[in-house]
Amino acid sequence: MQDEILNKIMKPKSIAVIGASTKPKTIGSEIMQRLRDYKFNGKIYPVNPKGGIIEGFQAYTNVEEIPGEVDLAVIVVNAKFVLDTIDQCHNKGIKGLVIITAGFKETGKEGAEVEKQLLAKVREYNMRCVGPNCLGVLNTHPDITMDATFAESLPIRGDIGFVSQSGALGGGILNILKDLNLGFAQFVSIGNQADINAETMLEYWENDDDVKQILLYMESIQNPQNFRKLASRITKKKPILALKAGRSAAGASAASSHTGSLAGADKAAAALLNQSGVIREFSLKNLFANAKAFSNCPIPKGNRVAIITNSGGPGIMATDAICESGMQMAKITDETKEKLRSFLPSAASVKNPIDMIASAPIEHYQQTLETVIKDENVDMIMVIYLPFLGLKDIDVAQAVMKIKAENPEKPIVGVFMTTSDFFTKISNMEVNMPFYMYAEEAAEALCRLDQQRQWMEKPMGKVPVYDVDRNKVKEIISKSVKEGRDQLTTLESIDVLQAYGIRACKYGLATNMDEVVTLGNSIGYPVVMKMTSKTTSHKTDVGGVVVNIRSEEQLRNEYNALLKRLDEKGLLEGLEGVIIQEMVKGNREMVCGIATDPQYGPMMMFGLGGVFVETLKDVTFRIAPLTDLDASEMVKSVKAYKLLLGARGTTPAQINQIEETLLRLSQLVNDFKFIDELDINPLLISEKTGEGIAVDGRIKVRMKEAQEFLGCMAGACMA
């Protein structure tokens, strides 16, 4: 049903332009001209209180006077008349709305209230609405040919579905499509996203064969969980490229945990896009440069690249770019080399990169490409041209495109280091492959094609569920919240971790000298002594952690010294006791944790830990819940992974056990969604067993949410 209503917007048979005008340089006039000039394949009904003729069409004074059925209303009236206009559209039976008009939530509190009323009407009348405050929509399919925008230039036909949160940016892009040598299948400027947003269009285009790839310009993601679900599914069928701009107010700078201080909205967005299979771009230039590759190339079967060039220098630079991007230089078969030698001069190199030398005529380009494209070891090809000896760039491009048309199964990209006139000429031609000025651009485009291949071949991850003691965690947090503490003590934090099956050091709590000695002797020396306090979270800052205590006598002395230090600093009152802990030997310290972004939700972190975690920042993030594949990728993606494998004779870490630790943390935060911050630092890698052992833990909750979840009222919690 919803798709049927969206069809009224994207594939209408009739359009009413409410606010159509004869006055030049007005939006109402511009939209009428676009619909007329692009030859909309349906009926156009201008609506203006004065009636008359507008752009050659009979105008009606009210939308309800239109004699025929209307699928789509494009509304450009003053903001104060929009709500009444929606009522009139409902009376007429119109289900699709594109509200160009500005003056809603982007203007402040009053405008936001009117927009809320607007959405309520749309919901009540079972309509769908693009905007308000948007540029409009277009569909270049020959059966539709609709340009209901007020961009200056008419759209170019292509295979891209484009969603822009910025109307002005979208208009600028539409104006330069020809220069970009790209075309759109459909375009939607979502504006304020009162109703239709990027997720709506992702789902709408999922099975639309006319849209071969989806491009997004986003400043925010309204529903990250739904976006992840949709994008993860759709990217298995077609590529999604996103330019994500702007940063939400994550408040990470104020976070007290290591995870929180390293996290941020942009890291959350990056993690979300990564886990969804979305290819993230950081500039419009890259967005469209790589979109050209998807428009003109098939998805490759592998990542082996062959380079054909008439100059050694650019061939070497291209080789560097290919290797640095993680792709492979194809190993040309002996059979291919032999055939290349049969027509190339003796000075030419038939190794990859294949250097035909500067004197290469157009015939050598043709023969070399035809030969290399048949090599079973080659998945993708980069053809480099530099102007030598009167060889014309356009002639070479046309010869290469002819061969591409005859061999469409492998991606071919052109690097033409020539004048800008060439790219102007190409923009006026029908092309079947992308052309770039520089090898680095072409290498990145091939890398994006390969990135899409890897994602499509990648199996879907699973979210495992472990047998844990959920009730024990509930009791621990209830006690803390009842006492008005949003931060658990070290002992409570370790108890929570153990309840969820996370390996922690053997430990015990002692509140006096006799208990300290008893625990030390039972655990066995060496031990670690850590203070646990309701008022002090960073223990090392106040000398609250003592390591490598090797005897009962030393333990007694260190305990007395700790009490003296805390008394001198006025911190003795909050002391609950000390934790006596087994001392795990190991030089490899990792960190894992949870930080909560207000927009994206809980983020998982893993990386190099210890005291340098915030200095070296060798960490990676993913949005919870984690799949088994997410956990594996997190561990393998940090530079410190090589240390875990057993560098310089150290015991290899139990990688599966570390991945399971991350998955158990993910389950913890999913079960207790009010956990705001969690740090395990360090997660020490045992030199004896290779286990990742939680040596220290720190957990903070969002008090109000925790109270609501646990049934805490007026200082009392019901477990």
Q: Output the six-digit token pair for 43.
A: 């009926």
Measured CA to CA, the distance from residue 4 to residue 225 in angstroms comes to 25
| Per-block mean pLDDT, blocks of 10 residues, the chain (719 long) | 88 98 94 97 97 95 96 97 98 98 94 97 98 97 97 93 90 84 95 96 97 93 93 98 71 41 71 96 94 97 98 96 97 98 97 96 97 98 94 96 97 96 92 96 98 96 97 96 92 94 91 95 92 77 89 95 91 88 88 90 91 79 96 96 87 97 98 96 92 93 94 56
Angle, vertex CA 85, rays to CA 83 and CA 89, nearest 5: 120
Same fold, 2-211 and 588-710: no
Q: Residue ranges of the domains in the chain? A: 2-211, 298-457, 470-582, 588-710
Rounded to two decimals, what is the model's pTM? Answer: 0.89
598 Cβ partners below 8 Å, 6+ apart?
248, 249, 250, 251
Query: Strand, helix or coil at 213?
Result: strand
DSSP class per residue in 336-398 = HHHHHHTTS-TTSB-SSSEE--TT--HHHHHHHHHHHTT-TT-SEEEEEE---TT--HHHHHH
Q: What is the pLDDT of residue 537?
A: 67
Q: What is the pLDDT of residue 255?
A: 40
CB 461 within 8 A of CB 690: no
Q: What is the pLDDT of residue 712?
A: 67
Please state which CATH number belongs to domain 298-457.
Answer: 3.40.50.261
389 Cβ partners below 8 Å, 6+ apart?
358, 359
Query: Strand, helix or coil at 53?
Result: strand
Beta bridge pairs of residue 578: 510, 531
CATH class name, domain 470-582: alpha beta
Return contacts of 508-515, CB within 8 angstroms, 24+ apart.
508/579, 508/580, 509/576, 509/577, 509/578, 509/579, 510/577, 510/578, 510/579, 510/580, 511/576, 511/577, 513/556, 513/559, 513/560, 515/577
Strand ranges for 55-153 from DSSP E: 57-58, 72-75, 96-99, 128-130, 136-139, 146-149
What residue has token string 């005529």?
361
Q: What is the pLDDT of residue 719?
A: 45
Fold for domain 2-211?
Answer: Rossmann fold (3.40.50)
Measured CA to CA, the distance from residue 337 to residue 664 in angstroms comes to 54
Q: What is the pLDDT of residue 259?
A: 41
CATH class name, domain 588-710: alpha beta
> How many CB atoms lie under 10 A from the CB of residue 571?
16
DSSP class per residue in 102-114 = --SGGG-HHHHHH
Q: What is the pLDDT of residue 1?
A: 54
Q: What is the pLDDT of residue 649?
A: 78
173 Cβ partners below 8 Å, 6+ apart?
162, 164, 284
Could you check whether the bond before residue 12 is cis, i.e. omega within 30 degrees of 0?
no
Query: Strand, helix or coil at 293?
Result: helix
Measured CA to CA, the distance from residue 519 to residue 363 in angstroms comes to 84
Q: Calculate helix-pair angle for 470-482, 655-671, nearest 10 degrees.
A: 60
